[in-house]
Structure 1
């Protein structure tokens, strides 16, 4: 999560009356006092002059000290701790009074992303019943209308809040709730308007820029078998077929120059009356390329505890796969199959995992009429030894063609179906339902053709989704190949 932003500059106008305007109450007080005085003088009635005196004196007393600067507004978004879907989010909209005059009334309102369910909002130490405000006392900041999650309800931050701010002090409007979905969600913009001098002067609306809150995807516990098609690195957790320093026993052989003494098998040596050493297989790390198909989106996102769209499944599955293989010491890289062709280079370690989470926050579905294959898989951009895990809903024919081309190029490809299982047919009249069933049949035919081309297609189901597929791919990679003379 990001830290506080700098306070908004009050104004660039002269400090005398910049940003402050008289209220209708001031106009009515001046008009009434003036009419009574003029009528008293013209009619010679002292009682009218006496009646006008309280209005004139009260207005003059209220305006004896007028503000010279506008209020300052800024947003603070929680702390620096990583925030995951379903976690508690906190933010504060601060209103500062840099003037020497008290602010009698401050109306604050902030826009909040619909994916941040704000359930508690109020000023620190204030009575919650005092936070109500009339509907017409609203600053220039609206409520979100687009991107509202399914089944959403009105947020506690959608209404204006009222307080007072003494001179040279700051009041915080605290917002607390839950983060419903991964991504970069804005808190703000926030606005405030101030009334002072007994309600006779009001400031213009002071706005501040929004602050982004980073919400990482929640990863389900994911495990996969150790079988990898081919290990290319020098160190790692996967056993290769090459002899070397490792933990997998390959057999026992006679001691040779260069063998280490700690490898001597004393039991066999005593029986054979000749030194024997334990031969091991070397350990290798593998490179895993996770390819995200972002050509199309389907389904509706319901947040962390609701239904999952294609992007939700894709992002959460990518985070789980990356966490698993990076924890084992493998190298992981990410690639987007789309017009943007974003790419994250292969690396290992916890820093790479944090980089993966940051990279996933910017995943967006982006349709394109052009074939992005050559843009994504350029020369020397994809290792021939890497395991390519393709997360795709198979909604676009170009996705199936991409998988077939990868398989024909000799790479080890596993396709993970991210289409929601509970995708409902359209409710339109006519042939919509029949067309949906025909599309489903055509898609199943496409998946069958991919399997005939040697591309295993498996539906994402969390832990164990790829076990059998990885075993089959590893078995095919180590099987002898028939060559032609």
Structure 2
């Protein structure tokens, strides 16, 4: 006989949808109403029952419409290209697909420490125009240098609407940085029901390295292509005057030097050197890392200097019409095929975002320099901190093989010595002396080593390499 009454009793109780749970407020309301009713019945006091009536009616009225769906959360980054030091923008959106209003929404998001969020606030769409601003949308304190993205933000979301938590700040360092994960919890029914945390997957924001100014006005050692901006030693169509010679079959009339022809009573033409392109191979030594990165406005680590210098050198030579390729000297041994143009420059920037320093006990020379990887006329620019003996051995092997090699020292000049006293300072000095000796030995083997200093860093070195390329070589029998 009690079976028909059980479903009716259960339907009267608050049963939240899956993903929703009663709060302590609902428990306290039900407990208070129950105590007052029981006390009124046991003591025979009607006033206690009357006192419990408003609490019961208020609870029932708040639970008249219960939620059926969880909130939707997603992260939307700005699609504009982002460079170190540029403004980064992203939005964490909370949508309400339910038929009841969300009385309270608590949103939190984690952001990479290299994306310093300085301002955060809610912006409502057209369907929620006129709603009051939510707490926590004030900008971060100026000069604190701390991100405010991981603090909780509170707002409300009406039915069938969405609210954007807009994040704005600065990108401090190159790389692929995460915005998210982001999560939201919702309270509805007057705060009597709360949802479980809905967490969305993070998205990655690409921050390209800031290109340091770089110019190299010296000629390439050997320009091997058919067209380009470098003056080669090979006769052909170009702008560099090579001399005057007698007119021959195939010479163009516009090349006739009339002054010399009238004086010699025979046609002479002005001979020029052809303008050729060159292949530049940027070899990144990733066997070791040193220094601490301080972002775009702070100290630069070895990896920072390597990536920014590579971007600057690649941009310079690609702008001149040369072919540029990339190689990693490390366990990964990644390669980027040589190409020209702006598309190759964008590909180089994308390729540099995945550069990581990895130590390895094995010698990666054979893995990196496979068959037909380096052209015989290519200029190999090696960006290395010279912290590993294998790096010096690699440079010496390239020089002995007849390659045109330039070593760019990427070790920070202001690398601090160890703070520990005693033998640590002595070991640091010995290591410095040993490194200077290694650099001297490389120069004796014909490998120029120059410290990266931005514009004009390689002018003198390229001049020396070009001079060696044109000098006669002594061949052994």
TM-score tier after normalising by the smaller chain length: over 0.9
Q: Deviations over 1:301-335 (max 9, x none)?
A: 00001000000000000000000000000000010
Among candidates 287, 301, 313, match of residue 295 of structure 1 = 287
- The answer as to 2:369 corresponding to 1:370 is no
1:483 match = 475
- Which secondary structure does the structure 2 equivalent of 1:339 belong to? coil
Among candidates 326, 338, 341, match of residue 333 of structure 2 = 341
Among candidates 125, 130, 138, match of residue 135 of structure 2 = 130
1:24 match = 24
Is the Cα contact below 8 Å between 2:118 and 2:146 reproduced in 1? no
- The answer as to 2:255 corresponding to 1:263 is yes
* Distance of 1:154 and 1:176 partners within structure 2: 13
Q: Deviations over 1:339-381 (max 9, x none)?
A: 0101111111000000000000000010000000000011211
- The answer as to 2:56 corresponding to 1:56 is yes
1:275 match = 267
Q: CA deviation at 1:194?
A: 0.2
* Distance of 2:409 and 2:265 partners within structure 1: 59
Distance verdict in 2 for CA 1:234–1:60, change over 3 Å: same
Q: CA deviation at 1:220?
A: 1.2
Q: CA deviation at 1:263?
A: 2.0
* Distance of 1:154 and 1:464 partners within structure 2: 36
* Distance of 2:21 and 2:399 partners within structure 1: 71
Structure showing greater Rg? 2
* Distance of 1:482 and 1:338 partners within structure 2: 34
1:402 match = 394
Q: Deviations over 1:83-140 (max 9, x none)?
A: 110000000000000011000000000000000011000112687772289xxxxxxx
2:378 match = 386
Is the Cα contact below 8 Å between 1:339 and 1:372 reproduced in 2? yes
* Distance of 1:194 and 1:298 partners within structure 2: 46
Among candidates 170, 174, 178, match of residue 182 of structure 1 = 174
* Distance of 1:237 and 1:70 partners within structure 2: 62
1:95 match = 94
* Distance of 2:289 and 2:387 partners within structure 1: 8
Q: CA deviation at 1:176?
A: 0.2
1:459 match = 451
Q: Quick check: 430-439 or 124-133, which moved more?
A: 124-133
Q: TM-score under structure 2 normalisation?
A: 0.92
Is the Cα contact below 8 Å between 1:222 and 1:462 reproduced in 2? yes
* Distance of 1:221 and 1:343 partners within structure 2: 25
Is the Cα contact below 8 Å between 1:263 and 1:278 reproduced in 2? yes
* Distance of 1:173 and 1:339 partners within structure 2: 41
* Distance of 2:18 and 2:267 partners within structure 1: 94
- Which secondary structure does the structure 2 equivalent of 1:120 belong to? strand
Q: Deviations over 1:387-430 (max 9, x none)?
A: 11100001111111111111111101111110011111111233
Q: Quick check: 470-479 or 272-281, which moved more?
A: 272-281
Q: CA deviation at 1:262?
A: 2.3
Q: Quick check: 109-118 or 40-49, which moved more?
A: 40-49
* Distance of 1:152 and 1:270 partners within structure 2: 79
- Which secondary structure does the structure 1 equivalent of 2:314 belong to? helix
Distance verdict in 2 for CA 1:119–1:201, change over 3 Å: same
2:6 match = none
* Distance of 1:152 and 1:264 partners within structure 2: 71
* Distance of 2:464 and 2:96 partners within structure 1: 68
Is the Cα contact below 8 Å between 2:122 and 2:163 reproduced in 1? yes
Q: Deviations over 1:443-470 (max 9, x none)?
A: 1111111111111111100011111010
Is the Cα contact below 8 Å between 1:72 and 1:98 reproduced in 2? yes
Is the Cα contact below 8 Å between 1:132 and 1:160 reproduced in 2? no
Distance verdict in 2 for CA 1:216–1:132, change over 3 Å: closer
* Distance of 2:22 and 2:95 partners within structure 1: 21
Q: TM-score under structure 1 normalisation?
A: 0.91
What runs of 5+ residues in structure 2 fail to find an aligned partner?
1-14, 125-130
Q: CA deviation at 1:267?
A: 3.4
- Deviating beyond 4 angstroms after TM superposition, the runs of 4 or more aligned structure 1 residues are 125-129
- The answer as to 2:217 corresponding to 1:225 is yes
* Distance of 1:406 and 1:271 partners within structure 2: 52
Among candidates 140, 160, 164, match of residue 152 of structure 2 = 160
1:253 match = 245
Is the Cα contact below 8 Å between 2:213 and 2:455 reproduced in 1? yes
* Distance of 1:158 and 1:306 partners within structure 2: 24
Q: Deviations over 1:161-195 (max 9, x none)?
A: 00000000000000000000000000000000000
* Distance of 1:334 and 1:95 partners within structure 2: 43
* Distance of 1:417 and 1:478 partners within structure 2: 26
* Distance of 2:267 and 2:402 partners within structure 1: 44
Is the Cα contact below 8 Å between 1:132 and 1:162 reproduced in 2? no
- Which secondary structure does the structure 1 equivalent of 2:75 belong to? strand
- The answer as to 2:277 corresponding to 1:285 is yes
* Distance of 1:95 and 1:185 partners within structure 2: 22
- The answer as to 2:67 corresponding to 1:75 is no
* Distance of 1:193 and 1:484 partners within structure 2: 79
2:4 match = none
- Which secondary structure does the structure 2 equivalent of 1:477 belong to? helix
